[in-house]
Amino acid sequence: MDKDTHNIPPGAAGATPRTAVVTGAGSGIGRATAQAFLAAGYRVVLAGRREAELQETAAGHPEALVVPTDVTVPDDVERLFAAAAGTFGRVDVLFNNAGVFGPTGSIDELSIEDWNRTLAVNVTGTMLCAAVAVRHMKAQTPRGGRIINNGSISAHTPRPLSAAYTATKHAVTGLTKSIDLDGRPYGITCGQIDIGNAATELLSGISSGQGALQANGTTSVEPSFPVEEAAAAVLFMASAPASANVRSLVVTASGMPFGGRG
């Protein structure tokens, strides 16, 4: 078997089905991406804390495996990837998507407990999942694989009163670069997608009602775009051949206050 066979698009003639692990798969971007992977012919391992929501995402698909997981718990993460490899034989893609927004407030208003909880999910959880995925990708035959980290446009520019979340997403960017560099000898690539205003239930208040707090102190309703398009972008990154890596991809709603002066 050629060393790049696991990166042939799943629908191609003679392709071996690839396995993707998606964290935070119970809702939002994670759910949409897991379903996009399934529709594209991947075997998909759905991870998240809420089993009922994961089962809703899976919707009885025969190539979906539900593994309730808290990404901040090392034993849970080990069990997740053991289940993926044990059921489907290998791990080809990790979409490191689980995350929380964390507390709202300026840096002097944040409690250490809220700060640590945000880092635990967004940074430590991302690190733990990547670490175990890399171990599997190094050991499997053919070895290699792809990790995609869900960053945020907050990895570029913060919203007001989001110090904890913004700090974690800058940290994810550093992790992405280091994982990609260290994975080179093993055929492991890592990229990051930074998404702005995908229309999920969690972000529904931004595109309706009062809107979102702006840098000038006002609130404004902002445009959004279908979450399925964010999922399609992740699938595009995952489906690149082993000889290519989408290192960084920014996808935002057209006209959202991100570039320029707002």
Rounded to a whole number, what is the largest CA-CA distance in the chain?
A: 59
Strands 248-252, 64-68: pairing is: unpaired
| 42 part of the active site | no
How far is residue 178's CA from residue 135's CA, in Å, rounded to a whole number?
Answer: 15
Of 43, 89, 99, the closest CA to residue 66 belongs to 43
Catalytic residue among 72, 165, 195, 197, which?
Answer: 165
Beta bridge partners of 220: 212
At which residue do the structure tokens 């979340």 appear? Answer: 165
Whose structure tokens read 């759905």?
Answer: 46
- Please tell me the distance from the alpha carbon of residue 65 to that of residue 58, in angstroms, as a whole number: 8
| Spatial separation of the C-alpha atoms in residues 147 and 28, rounded to whole Å | 19
Residue 133 near residue 91 (C-beta atoms within 8 A) = yes
Q: Which residues are catalytic?
A: 165
